[in-house]
Amino acid sequence: MTEESPLLTETPLADDRFSLMERAALALILAAIVLFAGAIIGKDVAPGNALSELVQDNILDPLDQDATQGDAGYNPVDTAIYSLLLVAFVLVLSAWLRKMRVPARDASLIALIPSGRPSAR
Amino acid sequence: MGRLFVSPLIHFHVAAWVVLVGFASHRVAQTSHLEGRLAITQMSVALVLLQCVFLLPQFLEHWSIGLASPILWSPLVGLALVIGLHPFLECCTAIEQGLIQVGIGGCFIQLAGWLSMYTEPLDGSTAPLWPMALVMLLPLAICILLWFLGRSALAELHHMGLTPGMIPEGITLNDWDRQRSSTFERLETLTPRAMLAVPVVLVAMYGQMVDGMATWLGVDRFGYSEKHVLSQKVIELTGAAWGFAALKFALAGLVWWLFASARFEHRHRHLRLLVILCLLVVGLAPGLRDILRLTLAT
């Protein structure tokens, strides 16, 4: 089926090549890291700047509240950020695992279930 | 340190452990001179003991350790199980073995805290056990029924060397959609029913149903509230949490439909697994957390 055939008009990308979407996802993750680092540094360098305020109010404060007082809840900003990053990490990790030639067995997912145990907090 | 054990950092924390275990298992398997997977088991025992170092002090802040204390015997049982599982994991890859052993060991360490909390509640009494039984067993019964419905179709595809939803290697999705071979016909015909019996898809469906039922019981019967933005909006729309539970059951059906109709190229085989993993993370993990919190009255 993979030999010459009039029905096969395209060749799949090689496993060690990244598609456009995978490269865009990697760029998104790197941008998020840079922006987050910038927000943390900006708290001291330029107090009150919009990015630092956004990160402090929507991400860091809820984390602190969850850890100290319990159940801060989520807000639309951090929900959107975490959702985008989740999708981006899925794309990048799948590309990385493919490139490393890690076997893709369903049993590997079953093996991960004990590691996904919930925290009781 | 407390931030590492609450959402969302708990997910990154656990992911870091998973990456560490996977990487260490891979390296140990490549470089060790010991026979078979003995080095992986040794590494797993060391990592479980490391988890004890991180977690047990947190428990000892609230409970004392004694001969009958779960804080003592639960990690010991976990370590014994990690070692006892060694002969049964030869069929797994090195990474799978490491993940299973460290994961199970970690579960028993966590169990120490949960059992301590149940037997010696910090504040207030614990809830009865019937919600946990209902939340975990009803979706399990549904998934077992689905498995029976789909197993013959799955067996037929496996006999042909095919995986439901996965296009054979070397063919793009566009080329696959254009052809009409017997392989194409069999895969397209059998995949929807076969997908009902694929364990990883069933686990993803199970997770969504568990989350829905746990939220419904927690909000409507035990006075908890939902912390996620979209989930809270659904509850407000329907006026009660049963609407959220219904949505989650529908979502479980949607998970099946998604995998029954989607076709993954061979190069996207890891993407398929990670998508299922995401569905597990946003379903089973919060659901189990919710039912544990409800049972332990935290």
Residues A105, B172: C-beta atoms closer than 8 Å: no
Asked if B97 contacts B105 with a C-beta cutoff of 8 angstroms, the reply is no
- List CB contacts of B201: < 8 A, sequence separation 6 or more: B195, B255, B256, B259, B276
pTM equals 0.82
Are A10 and B227 an interchain contact pair (Cβ–Cβ within 8 Å)? no
Closest-CA distance of chain A to residue B264, Å: 12
Nearest to B266 among A12, A63, A93 (CB): A12
Task: Please list every residue in chain B whose beta carbon sits closer than 8 Å to the beta carbon of residue A10.
Answer: 172, 174-175
Q: How close is the nearest chain B Cα to the Cα of A1, in Å? A: 8
Measured between CA atoms, how close is A57 to chain B, in angstroms?
15
Q: Which among B95, B270, B281 has CB closest to A94?
A: B270
pLDDT at A1 over 50: no
Contact, B127 vs B295, CB < 8 A? yes
Q: Give the rounded distance of the alpha carbon of B131 from its chain centre.
A: 20
Q: Could you report the per-residue pLDDT of B233-278, keeping only the tens digit for each?
A: 777 887 778 888 999 999 999 999 999 999 999 999 999 999 998 8
Mean pLDDT along residues B159-173? 89
Mark yes or no for CB contact A121/B5 under 8 Å.
yes
Whether B210 and B143 have beta carbons less than 8 Å apart is answered as no
3-state SS assignment for residue B166: strand
Region B163-167: what's the mean pLDDT? 91
Distances (CA, A) of B110 to B55, B64, B103, B121, B260: 8, 16, 10, 16, 36
Comparing CB atoms, the residue among A8, A112, A120 nearest residue B117 is A120
Long-range contacts of residues B175-184, Cβ cutoff 8 Å, at least 24 apart: B175/A7, B175/A8, B175/A9, B175/A10, B176/B263, B177/B263, B178/A7, B178/A9, B179/A7, B181/A1, B183/A1
CA distances from B28 to A108, B91, B92, B105, B173 (A): 18, 17, 15, 19, 38
pLDDT for res B207: 92
Instruction: Name the pLDDT band for A6 (thresholds 50, 70, 90).
Output: low
Instruction: Name the residue in chain B with its Cα closest to that of A75.
Output: B229
Q: How far apart are CA B296 and CA B123, in angstroms?
A: 10
A94:B175 CB<8 A: no
| pLDDT tens-digit series, residues A100-119 | 888 888 888 888 888 766 54
pLDDT at residue number A13: 82
Residue B176 has pLDDT above 90, yes or no: no
> How far is residue B127 from each of residues A36, B130, B296, measured CA to CA in Å?
41, 9, 6
Which is it for the CA torsion B238, B240, B246, B248, positive or negative? positive
Mean pLDDT, residues B130-145 taken together: 94
What is the band of B230 on the pLDDT scale with cuts at 50, 70, 90? Answer: confident
> For position A2, what pLDDT does the model report?
47
Phi-psi region of B32 (alpha: psi -120 to 50; beta: other; left: phi over 0): beta
User: Out of A46-55, B28-37, B63-72, B112-121, which region has the weakest mean confidence (pLDDT)?
Assistant: B28-37
Please list, in sequence order, all residues whose beta carbon lies within 8 angstroms of the beta carbon of residue B12, skipping any fewer than 6 positions away.
none
Q: Which among A1, A63, A79 is the nearest to B171, CB-wise?
A: A1
DSSP state of B229: H
Q: How would you class B242 by CB atoms within 10 Å of its CB: exposed for 0-12, middle for 13-18, buried for 19 or more? A: middle
Structure tokens at B46: 């060391």
Here the ipTM equals 0.82
Mean pLDDT of A85-108: 90
Give the model's pLDDT for residue B235: 79
Structure tokens at B259: 């995998």
When mean pLDDT is compared over B30-39, B170-179, B207-216, the highest value belongs to: B207-216
Selected residue of B9, B109, B230, B274 to mutate for chain A interface (largest A Cβ count, 10 A):
B274
The answer to whether B154 and B166 have CB atoms below 8 angstroms apart is no
